[in-house]
Structure 1
Amino acid sequence: MPTTTCVVAGGGPAGMMLGLLLARAGVEVTVLEKHADFLRDFRGDTVHASTIRLLDELGLGTEFRALPQSRLQNLELPQRDGHPVTLGDFRRLPAPYDYVAMVPQWDLLNLLADAARVEPTFTLRMSTAATGLLGDAEHGERIAGVRTRTAGGIEEDLHADLVVAADGRGSVLRAAAGLTPHEYPVPFDTWWFRLPRLESEQGEQAALVPRLAGEEILLSFPRTGYFQVAYFNRKGMDGRLRAEGIERFRERVARLRPDFTDRLEALTSTDELHMLDVKLNRVPCWHRDGLLLIGDAAHAMSPAGGVGINLAVQDAVAAAALLAEPLREHRLTVPDLARVRRRRLVPTAVIQAAQRVLHRLVFVPALAGRTPSAVRVVAAVARAVPSVTRIPAQLIAFGPLPEHAPDFARRPAPVSR
């Protein structure tokens, strides 16, 4: 009967980081990833300063900076006079953590996986999904492992002292445990798509500037050879957008970004629009005996601020720091699991509250075709006192109560030769 000390369902940023940290603590850990690789479009790619600092502490900073990436150094909003105002200036933060890195998520995940494979207690099982929970006949409702299924249809039970659900906002294991998140209202959905990026546009994108027109918002993120574009509109618009057809959608994009007009023919079908049903929620209790939820499985985040990856990684660091010793000594208790939620609840709640305020004060009026009054006020303050732009930059870059790598996981940076 296959066994491990900890099984992590989901090979995203939270799952891979937790697997790496626990393995460095000497805990036998198995990470399950249902796909054959990490190559999937339209996942969160913003790596904030808190995560970059963490990678430095883990001895992975040099390898991370060698990955293909762009650096964002400020967040701007367009004004009626055509001159953008800086709302968050990351350059005011202490170097070297004075930017947000835009890195394809698959590159980050491969970096973490390669670092974890060096550890003798780490196992990564690709093309293997966790499909359900195993009970413990001797201990009532205690979770004792997971049911797995490979891409080839082979089913197997994997027993473990702890199951960690890092399987995203549609968590199969959360549902199997009967844990239901509290949902907060969100006024918009997001449609992701790609557009070509010309050779002349391959330089750094120092600022992230959303474009607003009428009832629509558009953001573009630079990638090697293409732009990853996010189109925002009111919730429930997906059917209407698709019924209008791709030509009408191209017109919407052109109105927001006239400079993209020369490449919109690359969008050939509404099938190329990947709709994200935006959620903002939080599970009241993140654990059951033998089970812990982290990342989006515990709290789905709005894309406002792009903080989802980084909060998930912070959950993983806190979980590893608090649980490594009891896991290694096979004495894990329910109070141990409860400590993870207590440690991460305040920063999660603070960020979600800030996102709800942004939804109400910025997105709701913008999607109604009005210039948000909050934006005008913030713009006036930022122009009068430029140093105030450090505050939102600090909140976005590090968040409240950022985590540091536990001592057992730290490694010196490689010496360059």
Structure 2
Amino acid sequence: MTETTQKRASADAAEPRGASGVTRTACAVVGGGPGGAVLALLLARKGVDVTLLEAHPDFDREFRGDTLHPSVMEIMDQLGLAGRLLERRHSKISTFTIQTDEGPFSPIDLSRLRTKFPYITVMPQTSFLEFIVGEAEKYPNFRLVMGARVRGLVEEDGGVRGVRYEGKDGPREVRAALVVGADGRGSRVRRLAGIEPIKTSPPMDVLWFKLPREPEDQEGIVGRFGRGHIAVMLDREDYWQAGYVIPKGTFPELRHEGIGELKRQFAGLIPEFADRLAHLTDWREVSLLSVESSRCPTWHKPGLLLIGDAAHVMSPVAGVGINYAIQDAVSAANVLDGPLTESQRRLVALDEKHLAAVQRRRELPTRVIQALQAQIQKNVLAPALGSSRPFSPPLLLKLLPRIPVLRDLPGRLVGFGLWRVRVKG
């Protein structure tokens, strides 16, 4: 633990411990994102008492990933939920096509994957989370607490034994055999535990803003590369979420030039949406997201486990973050449902060896995809952003789709990772 992390952890630990109410559960999951929600559902199905703590009052938040890859849809299918999930509004993407100065380029094709779901399902994350939590609420051993802002960890006998949080009715405390931090890239649980991530790829900045969506617009995702700029548009049903990738640290200069310069550059890449940019009038309508990937050297300590972005922040390259968080959740449930049931029955602490087993299952796939993302950022995105000349994809990426033995490899890695993750039982 670094000195800075020790100071932050000490400061957090010094917060008032008083709680007007204490509840008990076998597993307290902090963070109602895809990983946390799916883990809570899986444990509830196995009869484990589980409490899901979400800091926000609802699941409706902007600028979150909306892509469910084949791996997730297979998991939903194993749970008997895929059919009903797909009744919700969604679109499907089988190929990643990027418009460049040389024309369209499709480095990833999922259509040939051997699966019932050879595509990426694009669905608002809010809709997905409401569906998963709705399923979990069918089980009497599941409890959801919205608006629960975690303030500290309950630590006894060298291990984590619960969390203190600020709820709608004041300070509360939940005691648990296991606390799971699934609270995203800025994980408060990770910080409270004094676990420091290490960076795995260079950072870049993305500007996000909304543009109107017309009924006749195409569905899915639009991506463009060209002359030092990268733009993407994501279908959010009622509007487009527009993203504009810029080199790290250049936002102050762009802001100084004015909102008109951002609109001019964006329209240069996606001219068919130029008229929509009239709705963008102020920098307050633009959100800056600093993007960098990282990974924790250890995802656990006695009584505590990190999953998803709390354990490994993913780059947005290929949109795999949600899917790896859900695969973490499935692996955690597969390993921990038995030990948690026993811990719940005997009222004893969970052995840390089970938490280490979860990390062992998930660390290699995480390392591999992060290494690939770093190479794409270094060899594709960085050159594209750093040059005013027409963008040309690297030769290897151009040849890959033409080599039968290798052409499906990118699709398999994006669709499933190193291997499929299946629900046990």
Would you say same fold, with TM above 0.5? yes
Match of 2:125 in 1: 105
* Counterpart secondary structure, 2:407: helix
Counterpart amino acid of residue 19 in structure 1: A
Identify the residue that residue 424 of structure 2 maps to in structure 1.
406
**Equivalent pair of 2:53/2:144 in contact (CA under 8 Å):** yes
Q: Does the CA contact (< 8 Å) of 1:365 and 1:371 recur in 2?
A: no
User: What secondary structure is seen at the aligned counterpart in 2 of 1:199?
Assistant: coil
Q: Kindly provide the CA deviation profile for residues 350-373 of structure 1, in whole angstroms up to 9, marking residues without a partner as x.
A: 100110111111011111115666
| Bigger shift: residues 237-246 or 391-400 | 237-246
Q: Does 1:378 align with 2:378?
A: no
How many Å separate the matches in 2 of 1:93 and 1:402? 12
Cα distance change on mapping 1:56 and 1:381 into 2, 3 Å: closer
Quickly say closer, same or farther: Cα 1:50–1:7, change in 2 above 3 A.
same
The aligned runs of 1:294-373 (5 Å cut-off) are 294-330=307-343, 332-369=350-387
| Superposed displacement of residue 209, structure 1 | 5.1
* 1:48-59 correspondence to structure 2 within 5 Å: 48-59=69-80
Q: Is 2:77 the partner of 1:61?
A: no
1:143/1:290 contact within 8 Å kept: yes
CA distance in 1, matches of 2:328, 2:390: 36
2:159 is aligned to 142
How far apart are 1:401 and its partner, in Å? Answer: 2.2
Q: Which structure 2 residues correspond to residues 93-172 of structure 1 after superposition, within 5 A?
A: 93-136=113-156, 139=157, 141-151=158-168, 154-172=170-188
Q: Does the 8 Å contact 1:86/1:389 carry over to 2?
A: no
Distance 1:51 1:174, change over 3 A: same
Could you list the runs of 5+ residues in structure 2 that have no partner in the other structure? 1-21
Contact 2:100–2:224 (8 Å) recurs in 1: no
Matches within 5 A, 1:18-37: 18-37=39-58
Pairwise CA distance, 1:404: 0.9
1:350 counterpart SS class:
helix
SS in 1 for 2:183: coil
CA separation in 1, counterparts of 2:181 and 2:120?
27
Deviations 1:232-287 (A, max 9, x none): 01111232232222111110111111111111111121111111111210000101
Count of residues in Structure 1 that have an aligned counterpart in Structure 2: 398
Q: Deviations over 1:319-371 (max 9, x none)?
A: 11101111111052011110010010010001001101111110111111156
Kept in 2, the 8 Å contact 1:182–1:282? The answer is: yes
SS class of match (2:313): coil
* Alpha-carbon spacing, 1:33–1:187, altered in 2? closer, same or farther (3 Å): closer
Number of the residue aligned with 1:76: 97
Q: Which amino acid aligns with 1:235?
A: K
Provide Cα deviations, 1:199-250, integer angstroms capped at 9, x if missing partner: 211x444xx5531222210011223232111110111123223222211111
2-structure distance, mates of 1:81, 1:146? 54
Equivalent pair of 2:162/2:178 in contact (CA under 8 Å): yes
Q: CA-to-partner distance for each residue in 1:13-43, whole Å, 9 max, x for gaps?
A: 0110010001111110000001111001110
TM-score (norm 2): 0.90
What is the TM-score of this pair, normalised by structure 1?
Answer: 0.92
What fraction of aligned residue pairs are identical, expressed as a percent?
40
Structure-1 residue corresponding to 2:408: 390
- 1:220 aligns with 233
Q: Secondary structure of the equivalent of 1:27?
A: coil
Contact 2:207–2:244, Cα closer than 8 Å, also in 1 = yes
2:88 partner amino acid = L
Partner of 1:412: none
Find the counterpart in structure 1 of residue 202 from structure 2.
Answer: 186
Alignment correspondent of 1:264? 277
SS for the counterpart of 2:150 is strand
Q: For residue 309 of structure 2, what is the amino acid of its counterpart?
A: D
1: CA distance, partners of 2:288 / 2:400: 35
Inter-partner Cα distance in structure 2 for 1:269 and 1:287: 43
Structure 1 stretches lacking a partner, 5+ long: 408-417
- Offset, 1:79: 4.3
Equivalence map 1:199-210=2 (5 Å): 199-201=215-217, 203-205=218-220, 208=221, 210=223
Classify the secondary structure of the residue corresponding to 1:200: coil
The answer to whether the aligner puts 1:16 opposite 2:37 as a matched pair is yes
Secondary structure class of the residue paired with 1:87: strand
What is the CA-CA distance between 1:386 and the residue it aligns to?
A: 6.3
Equivalent residue letter for 1:300: V
**Deviation of 1:157 (Å):** 1.7
Post-superposition Cα deviations, 1:86-143, rounded to whole Å, max 9, x if no partner, equal 211111113521100111000000000000000111000011122210111xx2x211
CA contact (8 A) 1:75 1:209 kept: no
Whether the 8 Å CA contact 1:305–1:396 is kept in 2: the answer is yes
Match of 2:13 in 1: none
1:171 is matched by which residue type in structure 2?
S
